[in-house]
Chain A
């Protein structure tokens, strides 16, 4: 549904997106995950035909970016990073306007459908200026969908929202999967990507990794175990000499052992520590979150670049 081939964009000397090649399948939610400045927004803007790529090619819904811009714009719905509205006009008027620009056959009915679906129908005649940030974001989702696009670009849909609004928005995005829409979701929020996405593309100017969330975690498998000691001594960290331990460090009362698979290795680790004379108060597993994977991917990129 979306395909890019060595998609690249420069701003002057600065490379914003470098040789991005990926494919988003129909009905899939693909997360574009990366820190600020990673090139997520630039990627979306190129795919929505708002910015021209410096080089490379891309196709959205079978149309080539750059050649069939108007066909792409009609196929695509976009929730921009900071989605603004005409604040003096009503919710309904705002939605109707965009539906109309997209050539929806009955803008009024479409506006109504999405106002209802996002729980905004009661507020339809209010000026947008009176909406809270969370409700405004819901309206932005309604706008992105009002012309029934097959492809959706959601650029940081929960950024800056309070936790409750963010959860509402995530729940709504989750519901979209049942509609066979193809979604490209930009986020720097890992749990969000993990929760919503079928696959995650880790981006930092270049594509660093692309896989299912579980596979990404597995790839970087190996957990961390935190051992709280009654008698912290440096040799507990330096003298472990166990094959599965990649790194051990002592900080205060806590010994952090990296590389251990808690299920398999904890008994051995505990036995060894006891042999060494450690007084163990507690052992906690600190499993790798996707965040660790992500951070280590980012770190590796630093080392490489």
Chain B
């Protein structure tokens, strides 16, 4: 665990110095948070049901965030090692294969959750100030489950997809674009919502959670295999 901490600390120090990462990891939360805030702003003076509908839409932003933030971080943290030729020296250290995998995954998942939840908190505060209170029924169980269960699952999904893609290419832009596809699952609620199937509800959240658990399980299996030394040295491109 100590070595994983060491790895993560170095990664963050390094990632902080990359412009694309700063844009990806800070600009996006600000944008999404801003959009969500703007939506609530429009709800001023509307009846509570209409306000609740706006909140439902705003929630979608908080499902896109946890996928998109780790994509940037994971892509640069892995493609960066390749580009700089640091993989072999890293593999020569006593880090275990599992520690390398876990370190690289946490590097991206942790900030993503912290930022998502941080922006969410700011959003709630802003909504409270703008509307003079959060409409009843908004912070329902499905809502909270979305934020606190779906978000981490989505973040893990985004990271695993990025890790998979990054091991296959050394072009950060290509990796970034491919990994962007990871956002698809977080659009499911949005799609369901916009074709009027339903608003945020428990069934939908559980369904999506279930799909993500299965997808993550399958990805984890693949990615852990990819993150074995031998594989990294001989098969990664």
Q: Which residues of A contact B18 (CB under 8 A)?
A: 88
Partner of B14 from A48, A70, A88, A103 at Cβ < 8 Å = A88
Tell me whether A280 is interfacial, beta carbon within 8 Å.
no
Please name all residues of chain A whose beta carbon is closer than 8 Å to the beta carbon of B85 when the two chains form the complex.
82-84
- Would you call the interface of chain A mostly helix, strand, loop, or mixed? loop
CB neighbours of A11 from chain B (8 A):
234
Q: CB distance B94 to A98 under 8 Å?
A: no
Among B7, B84, B230, which residue has its beta carbon within 8 angstroms of that of A101?
Answer: B7
Q: B91: nearest residue on chain A (CB-CB)?
A: A50
Partner of A52, one of B7, B86, B92, B230: B230
Q: Does A76 contact B (CB under 8 A)?
A: yes
* Contact (Cβ within 8 A) A85 B10: no
Q: How far apart are A90's CB and chain B's nearest CB, in angstroms?
A: 10
| Known A-B contacts A86-B10, A86-B14, A86-B86; A48 and B92 likewise in contact (beta carbons under 8 Å) | yes
List the B residue with the shortest CB-CB distance to A49. B229
A97 is an interface residue with CB less than 8 A from chain B: yes
Shortest distance from the beta carbon of B232 to any chain A beta carbon, whole Å: 9
Chain A 102-131, CB-CB to B under 8 Å as 1, else 0, gives 110000000000000000000000000000
Return the contact of B89 from the options A70, A74, A78, A93 (Cβ within 8 A): A78
* Interchain CB contact (< 8 A) of B230 among A51, A70, A103: A51
Q: A88-B18, A89-B14 are in contact. Are A70 and B94 (CB under 8 A)?
A: yes
Contacts of B84 in A (CB 8 A): 84-87
Separation of A232 and B90 alpha carbons in the complex (Å): 62
Contact (Cβ within 8 A) B230 A73:
no
In this complex, what residue of B is CB-closest to A127?
B17
Q: Is A64 an interface residue (CB 8 A)?
A: no
B233 pairs with A80, CB closer than 8 A = no
- The contact of A76 among B88, B92, B95, by CB within 8 Å, is B92
Chain B contacts for A52, CB-based, 8 A: 230
* CB of A224 within 8 Å of the partner chain: no
Residues 82-113 of chain B, each 1 if its beta carbon lies under 8 Å from chain A, else 0: 00111111111111100000000000000000
A143 within 8 A of B: yes
Interface size class of B (residues with CB under 8 A): 20 to 34
Tell me if A45 is interfacial: C-beta within 8 Å of chain B.
yes
A100 at the interface (CB under 8 A from B): yes
> Do A97 and B6 touch (CB < 8 A)?
yes
Q: Are A70 and B96 touching (Cβ within 8 A)?
A: yes
Distance (Å) between the CB of A78 and the closest chain B CB? 5
- In the complex, residue of chain A having the shortest beta-carbon distance to the beta carbon of B97: A69
Interface residues of B in 205-237 (CB under 8 A from A): 229-230, 233-234
* Contacts A84-B85, A88-B14 given; does A50 touch B6 at CB 8 Å: no
Contact B89 A103 (CB under 8 A): no
- The residues in A between 30 and 67 inclusive whose CB is less than 8 angstroms from any CB of B are 45, 48-52
Contacting pair A98 B233 (CB below 8 A) = no
Which residues of A are found within 8 Å of B89, using beta-carbon distances? 78, 80, 83-84, 98, 143
In the assembly, what is the distance between CA of A82 and CA of B84, in Å? 10
| Partner pick for A50 among B80, B86, B92, CB 8 A cutoff | B92
Inside 8 A of B7's CB, which chain A residues have their CB? 101
With contacts A50-B92, A84-B84 taken as known, whether A101 is within 8 angstroms of B233 at the C-beta atoms is no
A73 touches B92 (CB 8 A): yes
Specify the chain B residue showing the minimal Cβ separation from A83.
Answer: B89
A101 and B95 within 8 A (CB) = yes
Q: How far is the CA of A102 from the CA of B93 in the complex (A)?
A: 6
Given the interface pairs A86-B10, A88-B14, A88-B18, the reply to whether A73 lies near B88 with Cβ below 8 Å is no
Query: Does chain A have a CB within 8 A of B168?
Result: no
Say if the beta carbon of B128 comes within 8 Å of chain A.
no
Q: How far is the CB of A232 from chain B (nearest CB, A)?
A: 54
Instruction: With CB as the reference atom, state the residue of chain A lying closest to B95.
Output: A101
Chain A contacts for B229, CB-based, 8 A: 49-51
Binding site for A on B (CB under 8 A): 3, 6-7, 10, 13-14, 17-18, 80, 84-96, 229-230, 233-234
Task: List residues of chain A with CB under 8 Å of any chain B CB.
Answer: 11, 45, 48-52, 70, 73-74, 76, 78, 80-89, 93, 97-98, 100-103, 143
User: Could you name 6 residue pairs across A and B whose Cβ atoms are closer than 8 Å?
Assistant: A80-B89, A83-B88, A88-B18, A89-B14, A98-B93, A143-B89
- 13 further interface pairs, Cβ-Cβ under 8 Å (given A73-B92, A84-B86): A11-B234, A51-B229, A51-B230, A76-B92, A81-B88, A82-B85, A85-B86, A86-B80, A88-B17, A97-B6, A97-B10, A101-B95, A102-B93
Cβ-closest 6 pairs across A and B: A84-B85, A101-B93, A84-B86, A88-B17, A84-B84, A80-B88
